[in-house]
Amino acid sequence: MAAKPLRIVSWNVNGLRSIAQKGFDAFLARDPLHVVALQEIRVEESQVPEPLRRPAGYHAHFASAQRKGYSGVALYSRVAPERVETALGVDEFDVEGRLQFAHLGELLIVNGYFPNGSGKDRDNGRVPFKLAFYRRLFDRLEPERKAGRPILVLGDFNTAHREIDLARPKENAKTSGFLPEERDEFDRWIRSGWTDTFRALHPDAKDAYSWWSQRFGVRAKNIGWRIDYVLASPGAMKHVKDAFLWPEVQGSDHCPVGVDIDAKVVRR
């Protein structure tokens, strides 16, 4: 009998301490969940509530920003990674705690919280920083992608790729998250061989979003954006069995997204 696929889930939780009060422990206990990657945890490991620091059945890893209450990522895995790296080698990115590179057998899982391009004054002043982050990560992964390694890059990309990926594309043409230069950078990844797993398996899915403004009624009306992705290298995509969004899961302004992938890619 073939082994069941691994379910790998990504979720921007908008604060780990906040989501801890909204049933996140029950979410982790779902069966089957094999890897849960979180973004925007906004907490240092020492501040993580004890039940979530080492939850039963999981190996937990945390990467925090130097700035308190900001950014940060976490990874819960039922399979112990051989190692988890957190640096791109560029200080201005690494101090923000935006990445984890988890090596699970042959599979490399990259948990990323990509920068928002909006500046302090709600302008687009941070777009160059955002694009530089995309490009540095692309360059870091390119040799392994070319070598055929199965890689999943998942998380909050802070970019809606195509018009189908947000409810109001025309109104947001000048908003960070849907600027031409941001979409062009996403296109570059796709042209280079990365696959948007959800769109590949659900090409015509409309009104399929992963983030909603916290303004009253916006989520209920499903006026959203799909800015959370699982991108697969060619070496990983051939093992992907399904891709999904879970908009029914509450607790954050984002919902979980993920893939089911053949378990053999993590064999050691």
Residues assigned a catalytic role: 156
Between the alpha carbon of residue 199 and those of residues 107, 147, 165, 262, the distances in Å are 21, 24, 9, 19
What residues contact residue 93 under an 8 Å CB cut-off, 6+ apart? Answer: 99, 132, 133, 136
Rounded distance between C-alpha atoms, residue 177 and residue 122, angstroms? 12
252 and 11 in contact (C-beta within 8 Å)?
yes
Going edge to edge, which strands form the sheet with 6-12? 59-63, 73-77, 35-39, 6-12, 257-261, 240-245
> What φ, ψ does residue 177 adopt, rounded to 5°?
110, -20
Rounded distance between C-alpha atoms, residue 188 and residue 169, angstroms? 20
Token pair listed for 56: 């039963």
Token pair listed for 254: 């984002």
